[in-house]
């Protein structure tokens, strides 16, 4: 399937951790480094880190995708024939579908493929396959989370009840971001799906749990990482 319409994206996939994987093709080593980045500056900094670790490599080819709408996309062949490295790497990132998902939605991700030349020319087609496979095979070994735009709620709680309320909210399936213990009371921070039905359900659960003694205040929206799926 093609890219989804993410102009109003409310969720997308992100990497949980950095990952490295190597493949060898006709004596050339292709080492793919994957990382989560949130800006072009982060991406450039990661490239420099990889480059510093592999100073003797002939090529350090790159591709990254950024943002909920995945509209920021860049690639670099770093000396390989034009279109044989960065573009296929970018396609592998942009077209990857996470386990359990219906559409490709991975973003805030960079791939750097380091090549140590083995003395055998691969040709344009061989290079395209090698760089694409290096990224694809590394992605298959990666773990992912879902980053989702969520409505934030703040629930004031007596110090004596905060721990119990937090446990009850977690048990009911609500995403508890944490509890702040202030001088006069505690403040339980929640994130719920940003739609009227989910917000209403959360408020009803809170009203029932507190017997109507407390209500959550709206604290705006934010992007929240939900638990890893794999």
Going from N- to C-terminal start, the domains of the chain cover 11-142, 148-226
CATH 1.10.3720.10 fits 148-226, yes or no: no
Best CATH choice for the domain 11-142 from the list 2.60.40.1180, 3.90.470.20, 3.30.230.30, 3.20.20.70: 3.30.230.30
pLDDT for res 228: 60
| 115, two tokens | 């090549």
What lies within 8 Å, CB to CB, of 76 at 6+ separation is 61, 62, 63, 85, 86
| 131, two tokens | 């760089």
| 193, two tokens | 């799906």
Residue showing tokens 């591709």: 63
Q: Which of 4-8, 122-126, 215-219 has the lowest mean pLDDT?
A: 4-8
Q: Half-sphere exposure of 178 toward its Cβ, with a 13 Å CA cutoff?
A: 4
How confident is the model over 191-204, as a mean pLDDT? 94
| pLDDT exceeds cutoff 70 at 9 | no
Q: What is the pTM of this model?
A: 0.82
Distance CA 215, CA 18 (A): 40
């Amino acid at each position: 399937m093609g890219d989804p319409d993410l102009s109003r994206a409310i969720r997308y996939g992100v990497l949980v951790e950095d990952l490295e994987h190597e493949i060898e093709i006709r004596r050339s080593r292709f080492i793919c480094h994957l990382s989560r980045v949130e800006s072009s500056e982060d991406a450039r900094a990661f490239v420099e880190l990889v480059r510093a670790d592999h100073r003797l490599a002939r090529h350090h080819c790159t591709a990254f995708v950024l943002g909920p709408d995945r509209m920021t996309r860049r690639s670099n062949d770093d000396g390989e024939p034009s279109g044989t490295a960065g573009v296929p790497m970018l396609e592998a990132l942009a077209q990857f579908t996470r386990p359990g998902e219906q559409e490709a939605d991975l973003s805030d991700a960079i791939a750097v493929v380091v090549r140590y030349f083995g003395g055998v020319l691969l040709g344009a087609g061989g290079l395209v396959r090698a760089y694409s496979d290096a990224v694809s095979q590394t992605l298959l070994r990666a773990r992912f989370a879902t980053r989702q735009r969520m409505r934030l709620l703040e629930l004031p709680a007596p110090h004596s009840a905060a721990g119990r309320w937090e446990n009850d909210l977690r048990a009911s399936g609500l995403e508890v971001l944490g509890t702040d213990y202030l001088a006069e009371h505690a403040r339980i921070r929640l994130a719920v799906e940003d739609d009227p039905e989910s917000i209403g359900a959360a408020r009803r659960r809170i009203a029932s749990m507190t017997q109507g003694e407390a209500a959550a205040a709206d604290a705006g929206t934010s992007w929240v990482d939900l638990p890893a799926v794999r």
